[in-house]
A and B are shown apart, each in its own frame.
Chain A
């Protein structure tokens, strides 16, 4: 255990009086040890959460997180921060609702303001087919015990006065709302897990790229890194778009394709939108940040790429979709654009499982929706690593589902990539 002073209003006042010169570093930057009980490859949300829950829930503190760049510099810092659990299939709804319930208490549990704002997530219907399927979707979510309600166009108009309900290329014909959904500060989620894991003894090692995975007689023995070899009894891979590369180092392949998903931030404006809007049919989703910027996402690029840049046709399509719904946003300037490399699985559902190498585990396939899953992804991956067995919530997300044909086909359910 490492001593960490707690964040509080009192600590803020005390540090303000001393010119903010005495804040403690939030985590150590240790040199890698020669050996650990467990190593987590990838210092994004899922990797950091896995390390935290290994220490917190399973008493495993001789753990290292190895990150090739900086914490949260991959998809954790490149998403549109949407959190929701309104999936179609019960396996998904139960899993993502665990994540949402953990998010609801995360600021308190980790003593870190992750700025979780459960402002509601509104999914729009534009066609008769949208209406039929989304009403069924609402029922499926309610059957799993999760909140979801159908709204009429008039109700939606009162919730989102800036949106063109009628008159656009695709008039809004209804939608469904998950009130418990919302957004959070993505960087803060990574930092909160890092700080809490570090306080429990986890070594967080940045600028440490894994270049090889060592095994003997089919069992993992450690990793080769840019900072030397490190032995480990157990290793987890949580590297999103780079999962196929790490699997290749260990000698197996995965059912994944890595593609670029872009996001955009507008110049800040006065409050205009207090819900998260998801519009799959025209394919845009957006919310307004606390700073007033619109945070906008759309579909993935149409082909595999590791460039973290993104293609122009996706920009054009996403912006056109937004302006169909919000014509008044046409005057806005975009401040920033970025791309993340997301790992798309065949059924658009995640993969948490063992691998062909004993004691080597994988957490991947989150595709375009990994941020919302971070607490549950880490929680379940830690459970699998520590006990050797799946928790019931993560068991449906194993690699075996592809050969058995028991897909969790959220891609087909949504009609768009998540």
Chain B
């Protein structure tokens, strides 16, 4: 059981959250090659070790945030808000 440190709610069980894929994936401009679009959609670093991930607190604050986690040990290293404090919608 992962204990995930939600940056809004604090530490909660993994069953409250949904994994949302690798963070820092940037959508390319509208006019790109098929190969570049496929790279954006499908190709991943899939690291063994430290990973920056998007998580969604589905059964809590309903916020997306960035979790740094070690995929080799499942250790949750740190969590970060996506919006600056006070500006969240």
Contact = CB atoms under 8 A, between A and B. Distances in A.
Interface string A250-281: 00011111100000000000000000000000
Nearest to B46: A244
A304 B41 CA distance: 17
A302 B18 contact: yes
A242 B47 CA distance: 10
A305 B1 CA distance: 13
How would you classify the secondary structure of chain B's contact residues: helix, strand, loop or mixed? mixed
Interface residues of A, number: 24
Contacts of A258: 46, 48, 71
Given A303-B53, A306-B48, A307-B74, A402 B41 contact: yes
For chain B, which range describes its interface: under 10, 10 to 19, 20 to 34, or 35 or more residues? 20 to 34
A90 interface: no
Given A257-B44, A311-B14, A313-B15, A403 B38 contact: yes
A245 interface: yes
Contacts of B53: 303-304
B62 interface: no
How would you classify the secondary structure of chain A's contact residues: helix, strand, loop or mixed? mixed
A65 to B, nearest CB: 22
A253 B48 contact: no
B71 A403 contact: no
A3 interface: no
A346 interface: yes
Interface in B44-74: 44-48, 51, 53, 69, 71-74
Contacts of A402: 38, 41-43
B1 A311 contact: yes
Interface of B: 1-2, 14-15, 18-19, 34-35, 37-39, 41-48, 51, 53, 69, 71-74
